[in-house]
Amino acid sequence: MSNTPHDRLRELLNSVKSGQLCVDAAMRSLEPSTDLGFANVDHDRIRRTGIPEVVFCQGKEPGEAAAIAQEILSRSPRVLLTRSDASHSAAVLKVLPEAIVHQRARCIVIDRKPQIPVGRVAIVAAGTADLPVAEEAAVTLAFCGSAIEQHFDVGVAGLHRLLARIPAIRSANCVLAIAGMEGALPSVLAGLLDIPVIAVPTSVGYGAHFGGLAALLAMLNSCAAGVSVVNVDNGFGGGYLASLINRQSAGKSLIP
């Protein structure tokens, strides 16, 4: 399957010309969305943004998530499912055995035409308890075609661990700072770097942490300039934003 909308349109027209596809079927495949009854799949998103619609599994029946993934793949070479559990994974693997399940990240990826990674994003996680969110960000970045470099367990409680990584982090196009507890990591990084810092608060901490609210508010109130903040545990959102910054810095748009 080709990778660009232009290539796919050419293949479609050639199929009509050769008689492999009737005009009505071709017209249906050009419609911007498909109504599955329980979901309206946005096929036009890949043309607008360069990334196909992402399936958020939480709250969906496993069979529904699998059906949406199948429909997206009917017009796209790749699909990403986030916030999946074991039942979603089983349902997807049943109909799409080539799917790759990232258990800790709670993500499922089917990629029939892998991209060559471009640029570089540094993923910096404060502690090992933050790794599920960090890995969700990593899966998202890889799905979006960004090269990544991971720096885990380098929180500010042992500042020497972080300072030793600063030269490597500085050479990236942007950095994802993932932390729970008091959420100080993004502020420290922004004070040491000349690249954008995307802060991802996590719901890691003791009682007064309020499920990540303490880290979220600390990051929103950062005294260091250059910090943007996504929602609590939103590794996908942070990874997606970082991929946009990275690809723009690398001069590589996802839209042909």
pLDDT at 2: 43
Give me the CATH code for the 118-250 domain, please: 3.40.50.1970
**pLDDT confidence tier of residue 164, bands split at 50, 70 and 90:** very high
What is the SS3 assignment for 51? coil
Q: Residue 1 pLDDT > 50, yes or no?
A: no
Residues of the chain with CATH 3.40.50.1970: 118-250
Distance CA 93, CA 108 (A): 9
Q: Residue 185 pLDDT > 80, yes or no?
A: yes
Distance CA 245, CA 253 (A): 10
Residue range 23-32: mean pLDDT, rounded: 64
**pLDDT confidence tier of residue 34, bands split at 50, 70 and 90:** confident
Reported for 38-44, long-range contacts at CB under 8 A and 24+ positions apart, including other chains, are 38/64, 39/64, 39/67, 39/68, 41/68, 41/71, 41/72, 43/72, 43/75, 43/76
